[in-house]
Structures are given as C-alpha cells and as structure tokens.
Amino acid sequence: MTHALEDRFGRVATDLRVSLTDRCNLRCSYCMPAEGLDWMPTEQTLTDDEVVRLVTIGVQRLGVTEVRFTGGEPLLRRGLPDIVRRTHELGGVETSLTTNALGLARTASTLAAAGLDRVNVSLDTVRADTFATITRRERLHDVIAGLEAARDAGLGPVKINAVLLRGVNDDQAGELLRWCITEGYHLRFIEQMPLDAQHGWSRTEMVTADEILEHLERDFELSPAEEPRGSAPAELFRVDGGPATVGVIASVTRPFCGDCDRVRLTADGQVRNCLFARSESDLRTALRGGADDEEIAARWVVAMQGKLAGHGIDDPSFLQPTRPMSAIGG
C-alpha cells in the first residue's frame, strides 16, 4: 500500500536526504570545530542493509522520487557505491550526492557506474590559502581533481555549493563564479545557517542574499532566470544574459519553507521532517525491533505530521536544533 509523506500544510515530501555518516575529513569553520566532534558510535549507525531497507520503503511505499546521499562526508562510507547501486536498481528514483569531493577523483567513475546521477560539491573559494583557512585543511587540489573527475564521469550538471563568510571569502564571490563558469560548474551560494556545532552563527555576521547579489553585481549583470522555481531552494539568476546562471539559496532571509518537499534520514536512523526540527522519529529502533515495512512506513507518515510551517529563525523564540548540520545531513 502506498502512502504519501504529506504534512498538515499539504506539502508532500518526495526528496529524501540520507546522511550516511556524521564524520568528516574537513573542518569547515561554519560547520564544526577544529577538533571535530564526538562521532556517532558505530553500533548506532545504520548498516548498509538498513539504509537500503529504509530507502526502499521510502521509494516503494512513500512516494520518494529523489534520494540524495550526504553527511558528514558520504565518501567516507565504504559501502557508498553499493548503497547507490541498490537505490538505483529500485527504479524511478534519481540519485545524487552532496560531498566535499575529497577522494572523488578516485571514486567518481565507480559511482557513475553504480547509477549515481549527479553530485553537488562544496567549495567556498578557489584560493588555496582561503580554502585552508575555512576548512582547516590544505586540500584544495583534491577538491578540484574530484570536480574534474565528476564532470568526466558524466555526474552532471555538477553543482557547487558555496558559503560566504564575512571578511574571509565574501570578496571572492565574483572570482568563484567566473571560475565555475569557465569550468562548466553551476554555482549556488548558500546563506550561512544556525546549524554549526559550536553555535558561532550570528544574524548580524552572516552574509545575506542581498549582500551576495551586491557582490556579484560588481562584476556581472544578473537577471532573474525565467524557469519556474518550484520547490528548488535556489533562486536562479542569468549571468550576463546567459546561458550561465548562478543560484542563491537564501534559507534565512528569504525562506522557502512553504514549498519544501524534503525529508531527512540521519545516519542513526532518525527521521527529521525539517533541517531545523527540534524532534525526530526513531525508525532504527522499530527496524531493529522487527517491525515490518508497513509499520515502518506508517511511523514515517506520522513523523511528517509534526512538520512546522516554517523554520522560524527570525522568531525570538527560535532555538537551534541539538544536532549540528554535519549530523543531520545538509
């Protein structure tokens, strides 16, 4: 029997973000502290078979049509190609990966052969010194090699996600866009969100969508792209008349919660109906307790009922979720 992951406001989730690990080999300053975090214990992390079982329930019973693997850093998960292959074999589902691209140079062709459709790569600068400042690792060359391998393997259109930080890389927006256009990557800037483990986010310090556009307009002529946005979080602009575009994901200052079609599954098997949710629904315990697919699907449907109308970041009562972004899956 098929149900829809519909919430009380009539939004239907069809886009499933699956976090495969909370671990990472970078330490982006807007995401986690230099020393890393207390990683999730292995026994709490879903096995590859458990991940595939939940994804299968999502696709076959709950109307999920898109599965994006994320983390933490999903390339650190050894079983990733197999998980991708088994998801792809379900049929009727698009698969993608959000990654920092470390190691992608080695794995892109294997992932493409397993049925991966696309990748989104995080890259905030093309300057090696700024990269090392933001990520606390000197690995820019690996990211660039990973991007090239993804493009060569047909994992496109390759999208790049960038976060601008005041006084660090906000003067490099135009430079990054020019590089992406030359290389054929689709760049989207994401407003920094209050999801870092060290609670360092501040409304006044974050670089807003208006500021991002102001920076870009110093170097380029931007015009709204004509295609309807639908549930896509990025607002798209044509660059110098096109065909190149740039996206701005203004989660904080121009929220798009009303059109949200996403639901998240954490690496330890918790359903989160929103990035900013303050509660979760535990599917792992049901799974390991012997629940059948119908019962798990029913729990998942119930989990959507608590989805709020909006994230409320601007509300004085807003509280950052306990889990940081790296443990939720961006």
99 binding ligand SAM? (CB under 6 A): yes
Closest distance of CB 162 from ligand SF4, Å? 11
Q: Which two tokens stand for residue 209?
A: 């969508």
325 binding ligand SAM? (CB under 6 A): yes
Scanning the structure block, which residue is given the tokens 């760049």?
187
Stretch that binds ligand SAM, among 42-50, 69-77, 297-305, 312-320 (CB under 6 A): 69-77
Cβ closest to ligand SAM, residue 57 vs residue 123: 123
Stretch that binds ligand SF4, among 22-30, 179-187, 270-278, 297-305 (CB under 6 A): 22-30
125 binding ligand SAM? (CB under 6 A): no
27 binding ligand SF4? (CB under 6 A): yes
CA triple 90-96-98, angle to 5 deg? 145
Query: Residue 47 burial by CB count (10 A; 0-12/13-18/19+): exposed, middle or buried?
Result: middle
100 binding ligand SF4? (CB under 6 A): yes
Question: How many angstroms separate the CA atoms of 265 and 69, rounded?
Answer: 10
Report the DSSP pairing between strands 262-265 and 15-19.
Answer: parallel
Question: How many angstroms separate the CA atoms of 32 and 24, rounded?
Answer: 9
Residue 240: count other Cβ atoms within 10 Å of its Cβ.
12
Q: Which one of 303, 311, 326, 327 is in contact with ligand SF4 (CB under 6 A)? A: 326
Q: Which one of 24, 37, 93, 164 is in contact with ligand SF4 (CB under 6 A)? A: 24
Closest distance of CB 196 from ligand SAM, Å? 5
Nearest Cα to 98, choosing from 200, 190, 220? 190
Question: How many angstroms separate the CA atoms of 114 and 109, rounded?
Answer: 9
Question: How many angstroms separate the CA atoms of 229 and 236, rounded?
Answer: 8
Site for ligand SF4 in 129-168 (CB under 6 A): none
Closest distance of CB 309 from ligand SF4, Å? 27
Q: Which one of 16, 18, 26, 187 is in contact with ligand SF4 (CB under 6 A)? A: 26
72 binding ligand SF4? (CB under 6 A): yes
Given a contact cutoff of 8 angstroms between Cβ atoms, the answer to whether 129 and 151 are in contact is: no
Q: Which one of 5, 31, 147, 209 is in contact with ligand SF4 (CB under 6 A)? A: 31
Cβ closest to ligand SF4, residue 28 vs residue 209: 28
Q: Which one of 100, 130, 245, 266 is in contact with ligand SAM (CB under 6 A)? A: 100
Q: Which one of 5, 17, 30, 93 is in contact with ligand SAM (CB under 6 A)? A: 30
Question: How many angstroms separate the CA atoms of 329 and 33, rounded?
Answer: 17
Phi and psi torsions of 262, nearest 5°: -110, 150
List the single partner that 192 binds among ligand SAM, ligand SF4, none, CB under 5 to 8 Å by kind: ligand SAM
Question: How many angstroms separate the CA atoms of 251 and 260, rounded?
Answer: 11
Given a contact cutoff of 8 angstroms between Cβ atoms, the answer to whether 93 and 83 are in contact is: no
For ligand SAM (CB under 6 A), the number of binding residues is 20
